[in-house]
Structure 1
């Protein structure tokens, strides 16, 4: 199949296929007599793996490492599991950070609900945030 067909069947663009070739994720294909790239089902399987790995949150480098290991006949199960565990830990940390930010913003919103805007007379403080504001400087 030609590059356009491969890209279509793989759910990416031809430009993406050429990029994957340029960084070594996809092998350089055979060429037809007219110079067109010729891909086989193995290339399509590899392309779909890369696409699916990225959709699962793996980086191109991580997908490439798994492919390299497979190409060399190594088992990838433990390596893939470690990658997944690391990504899960990263997501858990992001969730915790977002929940902490949400709690802080919720607290500030409740505080704002109980403040009288008429009481906001100090030009150097924000009563909602409880913070001193920087002095206005003239440049």
Structure 2
């Protein structure tokens, strides 16, 4: 069911101020920056071995990332699990009693379809199901 940890989402106030730590100190390659208007964030993608790091900068005080930072500060926001057949995985989660934030997949960064599991069902961890185009079983 779960193919791999696709990425770890990290909430940051500013990509400009945070990126140098990842690129200059940790020497992680920057793969690109994308704005996801529907989520009100700018996302910087970094390669860290077989897992990506996504730095999430809010573009509006109304974004969930801005609210997360206000409540909890900067830091790990979610763990994304790479899956195949995301609609089936959502149904499977619901059948197993997992509360979903997203009952249907929605567009995410990098052209992925995503759906979040509610952290009240996962011992406080926000998990994202992430289906990327071309991912095979």
TM range (shorter): under 0.3
Q: Which has more strand, going by share of residues?
A: 2
Q: Which has more helix, going by share of residues?
A: 1
**Structure index of larger Rg:** 1
Q: Of the two structures, which has the highest relative contact order with CA contacts closer than 8 Å and spacing of 6 or more?
A: 2
TM-score (norm 1): 0.25
TM-score (norm 2): 0.25
